[in-house]
Amino acid sequence: MERLRAVVYGTVLMLIIGWVMYIGQAILIPAVFGAVVVYVIVGLAHALGRLPQLGPRLPLQLRYLFSVVCIGLVCFGLAYLIMANKERALALAPQYQQSLLAAIQQLAVRFGFETEPTWATLRQELMTQINLQRLAGSLLSSVGSLLVTFVVVFLYATFLLVERRGFEAKLANLSDDPKRVARIRDVIGAINRRIGSYLALKTLLSLLLGVVSYGVMALYGLEFAALWAVLTAFLNFVPYVGSVLGVAFPVLMAVVQFQELGPILTLLLALTAVQFLIGNFLDPYVMGNSLNLSPFAILISLAVWSELWGIPGAFLAVPITAIMAIVFSEFPGTRPVAVLLSQNGRV
- What type of residue sits at position 308? L
Report DSSP state, residue 192: H
Q: For the chain, how far is it from start to end, CA to CA, in angstroms?
A: 28
**How far, in Å, CA of 271 to CA of 251, rounded?**
9
Which residue from 248, 213, 249, 244 is spatially nearest to 314, judged by alpha carbons? Answer: 244
Region 148-156 average pLDDT: 80
Higher pLDDT, 345 or 141: 345
The answer to whether residue 327 scores a pLDDT higher than 50 is yes
Alpha-carbon dihedral angle through residues 48, 287, 232, 307, given to the nearest 10 degrees = -110
Which residue from 210, 300, 219 is spatially nearest to 249, judged by alpha carbons? Answer: 210
Report DSSP state, residue 240: T
Q: How confident is the model at residue 79 (pLDDT cuts 50, 70, 90)?
A: confident
**How far, in Å, CA of 310 to CA of 18, rounded?**
14
**How far, in Å, CA of 246 to CA of 217, rounded?**
12
Region 300-329 average pLDDT: 87
The answer to whether residue 139 scores a pLDDT higher than 60 is no
Q: What is the tens place of the pLDDT at every residue in 193-212?
A: 888 878 878 888 888 999 99
Residue 31 class from Cβ within 10 Å (0-12 exposed, 13-18 middle, 19+ buried)? middle
Dump the DSSP string for 133-185. HHHHHHHHHHHHHHHHHHHHHHHHHHHHHHHGGGHHHHHHTS-S-HHHHHHHH
Dump the DSSP string for 49-101. HTSTTHHHHS-HHHHHHHHHHHHHHHHHHHHHHHHHHHHHHHHHHHHHHHHHH
pLDDT at 146: 62
- pTM equals 0.76
**How far, in Å, CA of 243 to CA of 272, rounded?**
9
- What type of residue sits at position 190? A
